[in-house]
Structure 1
Amino acid sequence: MPVTLPDQLQRGPVTRRRRVLRVLLACTLGLAAFVYVNNSSWLAGSDGGGPLLLAHRGLAQTFDLAGVENDTCTAELIHQPEHPYLENTIESMRAAFDAGADIVEFDIQVTMDDRIVVFHDHQLECRTNGTGRVREHTLADLRRLDVGYNYTPDRGASYPFRGTGVGLMPTIEEVLAAFPDRELLIDVKSGDPTEGEMLADYLATLPAERLATLSAYGGDEPIAALSARMPRLRVLSKAIMKDCLLRYIAVGWTGSVPDVCEHRELHIPEAYAPYLWGWPNKFVDRMADKGTRVVIVAGDGGFSEGFDSADDWRRLPDGFTGSVWTNRIDRVAPLRDKA
């Protein structure tokens, strides 16, 4: 007669394995539920005011973005003008704020006499009647230029802004004086760290309440130099963006935000945004708690892509509470305001 173990001993290991599996399954489901709830934006609602609008270069002339690269002369590609404003002028910034912008972005360059002027290009030929690099001219030289001289919507058949832009290249001091209580985003166009230092020298003269309305972005080196001097200023560079988001992807499911994401300006391409934990509004709220502003940009983050039309606006997440990058504040602000 064969020898057998008691039934309860035969069943013991199987029963234990089943119990372990049930516990593991329960833990897995619980963790999945935690991750889902902890990163669901339906728990982070809008205050009803709509997103903030960031006007790129003020209210500016637009152009076809297809094939545009960093060295493309976009003044030769503009659409038929619908308004009289030229980018990076005080008039264009005022028009943007009047149209409904909450934040205005502008570009800066440094002159031969170490003044910070508001202008996009390193070279003068594309937009103006001047030649050479901005850095090779004094402020007085630049004041005499026509910053609308070479804008053409029809490949040189006409130049509708010639004569209208004389003396309109402002200094950074003039821009901040013109809009003393408005939010401004400064684009440091150079890759030279000394220009980040120069910007820091100027910003250090401003009171804390004014600095709270300013942010800056640009090349890795000048922004690193600027941030080292002014750690409370919101800043952005490619290196900062990569460091912050890679670390956030690793831990963000817990609701934690890495310290490297504090006091930043994050420009998130819409193509990649859904892969961020808590996108959209939980992510926006978490970053805001760290003093960081989140701006959504159109497409995959290519050259200056913005939410510029009604079709673009419909792609925004429902109830989005962050900021929106636009090249056509005049078209987009009414869409936000009637929503």
Structure 2
Amino acid sequence: MSLDHKPRKSWFKHKPLWILVAFLFFVTFTNSSYFAQKATGSPLLLAHRGMAQTFPMEGITDETCTAEQIYPPEHPYLENTIASMRAAFDAGADVVELDVQPTKDGQFAIFHDWTLGCRTNGKGVTRDFSLAELQKLDIGYKYTADGGKTFPFRGKGIGMMPSLSEVLQAFPDRSLLIHVKSNDPNEGQQLANYLSTLPTERLATLTVYGGDKPIEDLHKILPEMRVMSKATLKSCLIPYMAIGWTGYIPQACEQTQLHIPDQIAPWLWGWPNRFMERMERNQTRVVLVAGSGDFSRGFDSVEDLANVPAGFSGLIWTNRIDRIGPVIHAK
């Protein structure tokens, strides 16, 4: 009798260990990229504000006027202009990001700043002006790379601020990422009402991101549209990081867009291939941004590309499409 019970006692004695081993095997098998379909090809490219002038990222805040500290210009383009977007697409961008500001007369201007004084020869809050008034400004007036000794774009940006309508007409079949720069729910409603006049196939090429309130209101009116905000990111990634090891995909991760900093990405279950498989299966677009994701850091040099996983099939964010586009498309 005693001999018959010894194996059973041994099993019960080591049962917690076997359960742990089985659990670790399950988690590894479910989330390992080795068991996912191996991605091939090159990443897609998202050009931030088109072909833009760039600046040192160190020490900048939300109040920094970046136009006053640009690097010496290497190309003639100003951000958020039709010319800069066309140059970005020509350099290999798959998606161009642009900023919208509502105008006093109910339209949308393509411009980054809440106020006009940093970049232009105007003063005041951008949305307090009509589109016609904004389009008379010189949007390159304040750009300087030498502390104000010279202004290389002064006089070259007059009439260069486009409307959203003009951009959509200029690029009727290209993918665009529209950035709402406020947290005003009325802006989300206004943009949704404008976009709702577009054909379904055109809406499929557009994504909108921005403040929690405008994005929430926009999505109520256009539930089929791909959107992103801090709230939508959290509602997807927090539960995913909690239970994604099981292979379960939270509903908030479906038909959306995720901006994933490359410092955080390795902590996501199944990163990179298994995670990408799951998101693509749920029609969710993944954009990889550089560092911790602060202040729109991008993959802006050839050296930065070493941090992009081999075979990554999503979008990578760049502020220097002129540098990155030719490298990616040469592979």
How far the C-alpha of 1:47 sits from its partner, in A, is: 3.0
TM-score between both structures, scaled by the size of structure 1: 0.94
Residue 179 of structure 2 corresponds to 187
Residue by residue, what CA displacement relative to the aligned partner does 1:121-168 show, whole Å, maximum 9, x if unpaired? 010000001110111111111110011111000110000001111111
Q: Could you tell me how far apart the structure 1 residues matched to 2:234 and 2:202 are?
A: 28
Q: Could you tell me how far apart the structure 2 residues matched to 1:283 and 1:176 are?
A: 32
Change (3 A) 1:21 1:226: farther
Q: 1:239 aligns with which of 227, 231, 236?
A: 231
Q: How does 1:42-81 map to 2 (within 5 A)?
A: 42=34, 43-48=36-41, 50-81=42-73
For the aligned residue pairs, the C-alpha RMSD in angstroms reads 1.4
Q: How does 1:14-163 map to 2 (within 5 A)?
A: 15-42=7-34, 43-48=36-41, 50-163=42-155
- Whether the aligned pair in 2 keeps the contact of 1:269 and 1:299 (CA below 8 Å) is yes
Residue 305 of structure 1 corresponds to 297
Residue by residue, what CA displacement relative to the aligned partner does 1:16-74 show, whole Å, maximum 9, x if unpaired? 332234554444323322221221223231232x0000000000000001111112110
- Whether the aligned pair in 2 keeps the contact of 1:281 and 1:322 (CA below 8 Å) is no
Q: 1:266 aligns with which of 258, 266, 283?
A: 258
What is the identity percentage for the equivalent residue pairs of Structure 1 and Structure 2?
55
**Could you tell me which amino acid in structure 2 is paired with residue 107 of structure 1?**
D
How far the C-alpha of 1:261 sits from its partner, in A, is: 1.2
Q: How does 1:250-329 map to 2 (within 5 A)?
A: 250-329=242-321
Residue 337 of structure 1 corresponds to 329
State the structure with more CA Rg: 1
Q: Equivalent residue of 1:55, what SS?
A: strand
**Could you tell me which amino acid in structure 1 is paired with residue 38 of structure 2?**
G
Q: Could you tell me how far apart the structure 2 residues matched to 1:179 and 1:41 are?
A: 37
How far the C-alpha of 1:297 sits from its partner, in A, is: 0.4
Q: Does 1:206 align with 2:198?
A: yes
**Could you tell me which amino acid in structure 2 is paired with residue 17 of structure 1?**
K
**Could you tell me which amino acid in structure 2 is paired with residue 79 of structure 1?**
Y
Q: Equivalent residue of 1:149, what SS?
A: coil
**Could you tell me which amino acid in structure 1 is paired with residue 219 of structure 2?**
S
**Could you tell me which amino acid in structure 1 is paired with residue 194 of structure 2?**
Y
Q: Does 1:178 align with 2:174?
A: no
Residue by residue, what CA displacement relative to the aligned partner does 1:270-318 show, whole Å, maximum 9, x if unpaired? 1111000011121122112112100110001111100000110111111
- Whether the aligned pair in 2 keeps the contact of 1:313 and 1:335 (CA below 8 Å) is no
Q: Could you tell me how far apart the structure 2 residues matched to 1:212 and 1:126 are?
A: 34
Residue 218 of structure 2 corresponds to 226
